[in-house]
Structures are given as C-alpha cells and as structure tokens.
Chains A and B, each alone.
Chain A
Amino acid sequence: MTPSSSIAAPGAVPGHEAHDDHGHHPSYLTDGTTVKSWLLTVDHKRIGIMYLAWILLFFLVGGIFALLIRIELLTPGPTIMDAMTYNRVFTLHGVVMIFLFMIPAIPSVFGNFLLPLMLGAKDVAFPRLNLLSLYVYLAGAGFALWGMLNGGLDTGWTFYTPYSAHTTTTVAPVLFGAFIIGFSSILTGMNFIVTTHTMRAPGITWFKMPLMVWALYATSCIQVLATPVIGLLLLLVTAENLFSLGMFDVARGGDPVLFQHLFWFYSHPAVYIMVLPAFGVMSEVVSTFSRKNIFGYRAVAYSSVGIAFVGFFAWGHHMFVSGQSTFNAGVFGVLSMLVGVFTAIKVFNWVGTVYKGAVEFSTPFAYFCGFLFFTVFGGMTGIAVATVSLDVAWHDTYFVVAHFHFIMVGATIMAFLAALHYWFPKMFGKMYHEGWGLVSAALIILGFNATFIPQFLVGNAGMPRRYYEYPERFQALNVASTAGASLLAFGFIIIAIYLTYALIYGERVDNPWHSKGYEWLTHSPPPTHNFIGPQPTYPEEPHFYVDPKKAQGEVSDV
C-alpha cells in the first residue's frame, strides 16, 4: 500500500479509453476486503462509498416520513395519526432530509470520491481528517435520531424560538446532534479547500479545473464560513431550553427575532450548500452527454463564487413579515434578485452548451432535463417569493413548501441521481440497465411535478404549512399531491432494484460515456492511489471534445 509501489503501466494520457490490466492492479474496492480495512480506511474513495451507504439510509428514513406526512394530509381531519405525532413527523422529516441527507449528499459522497481524481491527486489533503469527519457525522446523526425517537421534538427543522425554548419535547439532543454534524461539514469543507489549493496536478490551473471542482470549492467556502454561526446558535438555544437563559425571551430582555436572524444567516447560505454541488454535477453531465466544452466556462465558474458571496446577504428575505423595518426588506429584496441573476447565467450557459453539440439522451441526461425545469421554475418562484409584497401573501404557506422542494430538493435530487448514474461505472466499474434507468427517471420527474405543482396552487389558495388539519376546500389539491408522492416513491424503488442488480451482475465497463472528464483518465474502478504509473498529464482543458486535428488552431482563437 505504499504510494510508490504502483508504478507499472505507461502514464494515462487524455483520450485513451480502454484498459485490460485490471487483473494486475487491485481496484480500491478489492484492495483489502476485511471490515476493518473499510472502517479504518483513509482512502477518499472508500470514505465516499461509506458516506453513500449512510446517506442512502437516511434518505430512506426521511422519505418514509415524507410519505407519512402525505398520507396524513389525504383527508382534512385526522387520518392516520394524532396532531402531536404529525408535528414530530414533519420535524423528523425536515431534520433528517436537511442535515443528514441534502447538505452532505453531493459533497460528501461525490465530492470525496471525485475531487482528488479531478485534480490528479492521490488523495485529499488530510486523509485522516476526512475519515474523522465521517465518524463525526455519524455521531451527530446518532444523537439527533436518538433524540427524535426518544421524546421527539416538534419544532420543525427551523427550531424557532421562543417555541423551541418552551416546548416540553426533547430539544437538546437533536440540537446537539445538528451541532456535531456542523463540525463534520466544516472539516470536509476545509479539507476540500486545502486540497484544491495545494494538490492540483501540474497542468491543472484554476481555469482548467472541472466545473464540479469550482462548485465544490465555492460550497466549501460557505460551509467553513457559515456553519460556525449555526453551531453557536444551536448551543444557545439548547442552553436557553435547559437553563432558561433569556437570550431570546422578552421577559428577560431577550429578543425573540434574534434567533431568526442568526438561523437564516446560516440556513440561507446552506440552501446553496445544497444546490451549488448540484450545479457542479450538472455542468459535468451536460458537457459529457453533449460532447461539448462548456459554453461560458468562466461565467459558470465565477457565478458559483458569486452565488456563494451574495448568498450571505440575502437572509432577511425569510423575515419580511417578522416586523423588520421596511428599509431592511428593501435591501434584502434587491440582494435576493442578484442571486437569481447568477443562477440565470448558469442556466443559459448550460443550454448554450448543447448548441452544436452531440446529444446522447441517456439516464443522466434525462435527469439533466428534469433538473433544468426544476431549477428554472424553482428558481423563478424563489425570486417571486423574494418580491416583498408577494411574500406577504405567500410566506409560510404551501407555496413556499413547493418552491423550496422544487429548487433544493428537485434540483438536488436530480443532480444526486444524475451523479449516481453518471459515476456509477466510475465507482464500481459496472453498468446498469439503461432502459430501466430512463423509465425510473421519467417516473421520478413526473411524480415530483405531480407532488409539488398542486402544492404551489394550494399555497396560492392560502393553506399554511405545518398544518395537521386543514379546511375542506384544500382537499382536492392535497389528494393530487399525495398521489404524485406515491409515483415518486415507486420510481425510487425501481432504481434501488436495478442498481443493486447492476452492482452484482452488471456488465464490466471502463468509460461507457467516452467522457473526457479528468476523473476518467484512470481505470474504473480506480486503483487505491488513483493512478497506476506516472500521473496523467493535462494538456487540454476539461470538457474538451474537439477533433484533435482541428484543436490546435481553434483553441488559440479564444
């Protein structure tokens, strides 16, 4: 397992696509098969795979609770549970999905697996820290889940004071769990930042980094800067809840709205922690499957950084009706518009990438199509709710629920599934059944729309969120939404089946997409230290599909 022992085959050069030396060099999957060799590994790829397993488990838990919510809302009155249970169920759903699934999903799984490969590095900068962050994450998750199953808090994932300081349910362990998970987030972020700065292979300049790396880099900056704020805030609330400190209690000179400022100061940027990696994945996917360089590479890269920056100054748009001043509402309103513009730049450039391309409509690309729709529609409805006067009507109704599911869940799930399908061969060296891939993608995109479009409408009609019972007139739309959710669930079941099948019986492949992404310059699955022989060289930019004979003249034009 010493790094220097693996020199054998000639260096991989861009453009090569076939390997047949699998037998001689164990892949990271087969290099050590004991349980210990997995649990104590410092290989970023194995850590990524372990994250994948846990994250899928938490997604299942969150998903089951989502279905319970939808079944409860099938009828206006009580359906399958009582009000207290419902309040705990939607809190559990929110906490699990946000803190255990969405925030870590793409960075921890695909970021871990791919970042070093995309930079031509043998590992991340701090491999042991990387393993630690996995266990910190699991410890936090354990705490939070234990708290939710023993007592179960009912505050919603937003934990607003003074309710969270007064409620008799068990707040402390869940908040403490979320606090611990924050450390994992910070560790991973730091690791990625240092890796990107110091471990790029010769030839990979900043503007030759794949766009996925740019997205991960911007995300990591947000994680490192914003997570400490929520960490401290969660500690303060825990203390307030246990010892009645008076930080947020008016009777003791506290401020009930202070919590919301601090909370959204983290949680608004956190929305971009969830969605920027998704943007990164999609940049890779659209380029590979249209065999084209990214239309405006620099614009897409800079806009990630722009979003990360402006994202810090928009938090007040969650609080337009909380009694903040009209002036503040104006400032936060304008700044929110800028985030929309940065996203628009990306969308236009993705569509531009297809121009004069060669589109292969495979499963990851199907998810790209869904993603495009959810991002445009979810993003535009986001700008709509940031339009101050409209938000007076929409705030805390199902319109907002639909909006944030479209943008963060829709876009992120599309990207997660696209990534899973696109990099499945990279990770396991196996191929899944393309037909089933397309069928389930169609089901999921359809089911998602059927679930959340009715929620936009029921929000327009005035149904508030976090309602256990609702006036009769909202029922038809709720039934439609529940029907959509079952379609969605069905889609996920199909994926689980054919991917498991592919894992065992799948056909061996190396680079089924003929992708020129840097991560494909090594074998699939990659060997333990990522490359066999000398490090690959990187004469071309990523996302480069130009005919080599013509390349010389054309590139120099730009």
Chain B
Amino acid sequence: MTTPVWVPRKRRGAELFLTFLAVFIGIAAYASVGLGAEGRIPADTYKLGGALIVVAIATHLIVRRVAPYADPVLLPLVIALNGLGLAMIYRLDLGRQQIDPDRAAFANSQLVWTAVGIAAFAGILIAVRDHRRLQTLTYTFGAAAIGLLILPLIPGVGQTINGARIWVVLFGFSFQPGEAAKVCLAIFFAGYLVVKRDALALAGRRIIGIDLPRGRDLGPILACWLISVGILVFQRDLGSSLLFFGLFVVMLYVATERPGWIVVGGLLFGAGAYFGYAAFGHVRVRFDAWLDPFGDPDRNGQVINGLFGLAHGGILGQGLGQGSPQLTPYSFSDFIAASMGEELGLTGLMAILLIYGLIVERGLRIALTCRDAFGKLLAAGLAFSFALQVFVVVGGVTRLIPLTGLTTPFMAQGGSSVVMNWAIIGLLLRISDQTRRPAPEISTFDSNEETQVVKMS
C-alpha cells in the first residue's frame, strides 16, 4: 500500500500570466510618461516593449527549466516594480533636462543595470543548484562582507559622494559594495547561526535572569557585525548601519527563538540612536529635519519638496509625466517614492507598498515552509531586511521616521542596488524551489519482495 504523495503544483503557467501583466504595467507606464510629458507615446515604445517581453519570457523559461517549483509570484512582482521604476527614471530624465538640458540621463544606464541584475538572477539560479551549498562557504561570505565594506575606504578606489564614503569607482563604473555586503552578511549570519544556535540558546551562564551565551559562541558573529557597523558609521552610512543591525538582531532571534534578543537589540538601538544624535552633527540635522522640516526651509528643502510632491499628488496623482517630481532633489533615487506618490497618487503609492509587502510575505512564507534550518534563516533574514529597507526609505521620505539614505529596492536609480536585489530574489526563488519540490522518491524495499528475500534453504 502506498500512501498518496502530496505533489506541489508548479504553477509556472500562472507565473507566465502574471509576468505578462507585470511587463504590461512597465510598458504602459513608459508610454504614458511620454504621453503625459510630451504629448506622444515614445517612438521606441514598441522596440523597448518587445525587448522587455523577450527578456521576461527568457527569464521565465530559465526559471521553468532550473527552478520549476519556485514561488510563482515573486518574479512578476519584481518585474512590475522594476518596470515602474524605469519608467519613472525616464520621466525624471525628461523633467530634469527640461530645467537644464545638460543634466545626465539615467534611464539608459538603469536599463543596462537591470539587464545585469536579471543576468545575476539567472546566474544564481543556474549556478547555485542547492542553496545548502552556500552554507559550506559561511566564513568566506563573512570575510567577503567585511572586505566589500572596506573597499570604499581604500584611497584611489573609494569615493565620497554627498558626504557618504560608500562608493567604489572601477573602470568608470561606480558601485556601492555595501549592497553586496548585505547579502554576504545574511549568508554568513545564517550559516553561522545554524551551527551555533543550540549552543547560543542553551549553553551559557544565567546572570540576573538573562541567559547569556558563551563568548566563544557569540564572539565571531558579534565581531563581524560590530566591524560592519563600525565601518558604516565611519562611512556615515546611517541607513545601512541600521539595516545591518536589524538583520543581525532578527536572525539571532529566529535562530535562538528567544525574544530577549529583540529586547536587547531594541535597547542597544535606542542607546546607539541617542549616541548618534549626541555625537554626530549630520544625525542631528536629520533628526531635526524630521521633527520640524519647516523650521529651516532652506536646509530641509529636500524633505519639504518631497512632502510638497506627495501632497501635490493627492489621492489620484497628477498622472505620469504630468506632475513636477523633478523639483525634488534626488527624485530619481532616494526620493523616488515621493515621485511615485506625486504622479501615481496615494492610490499608486499604496499599490507599490502592497507589492513590496507581498514580496516580503512571499519571502517569509518561503522561510516558513523551508525544510532546512539554513534556508529558513537565510530566507527570513533576506525577507526581513527587504521589509526594513522599504520601511526606512519610504518612511524617511514620507516623514514617518527621520530620513536615512537607502535605496528603494528595484525602483531607485542605482546599479548596485538593482543588481543585488535581483540576486536576492534569485536566492529566494532557489530556496523556494528546494522547499516546494517533492521529496525525492526513496526506493522502498517492499516493492519487489521476490528479489529482496533470498531463500537460503
């Protein structure tokens, strides 16, 4: 008697349908930008749209081939965001060049970076056939994370842009290694914690009612995290320090299942925030701009302009190409959420936030259903850091929290961000493919009794 085996549905057809929908959103956005800003659909819409469809189908086919059981919703969600982001960057190019024709256009390079990102996505799916193999490289990824973070500090390679020394310029391309470091760090945390989680959770002394882990268990991970955050503070990258801290605390919590880590993390964050406010002028400026942006309109022009843009958009938005998002400094990168809010309105911004929310939800679902601890931790860490990043950047732009520099995933202009976020989606799809794949058939011994039993008599 064989028990009926539950075979997950692959749902690749649904993914293809959703992908077409997502591609349509991108192309329609591009066309309406041209219609709104210049009164005509851009001449290359058909060419660009065709290319986009080809790339989407190719991506879909790769997933179908190498990760047939992967989550079917993530890829379309990401394509929709990426398409919207590209259309908005093109729109902002038009707007900014209307003010000053000499300003650089970003849409084309962003398109190239998107292609690189999709290639990285496909590359990870093809190269990493089983995410558990990454666990064997735990310490390599830890070292890589620190190495990547140090890169911008090396004279000649690193570059300070807008007060933050987080850029690397190689062969004329600028890149933020911090984005890649985030993924490496997540893999390191996951790999390390999987091994040490029992020791961290159980071994150790109890001091004033708190179970403290042994130094040799907590030490390496604490050191790695401290170095990372130290470097980031040194580079004045507030957003990333916050992100890395959150990633660290949450993964520790998931691994040890002890809520005390969240409490400790929260207290440490409070202390750190207070120290940052007291010690660093640039933190204080951000904080004051958050509490009362109109107190100093000249200095807080960016935040104020972002708010003006959001208010100008109102409920239904000005329409793509018909607002004035170009008036806001960095409307194409840090403040692209405000640009979306202005032209797509509250409705559009909420839709975008829901897409982000769905991505996080799919990521956490993958973590829940994942059968191995490493994959579970990695998926949970990546999904949470994604949520935290969206919260910090969109919350900063909409004055929910003080502004810290972080990119809006898949939408903001910036090569490293787009590439690394595609890579993250690649990792998540890989884990989900492993998770949903039916367990390999184990040949049962009782299937052919005759050959099994040898009568000796």
A binds B: no
Point out residues on B near A: beta carbons under 8 Å: none
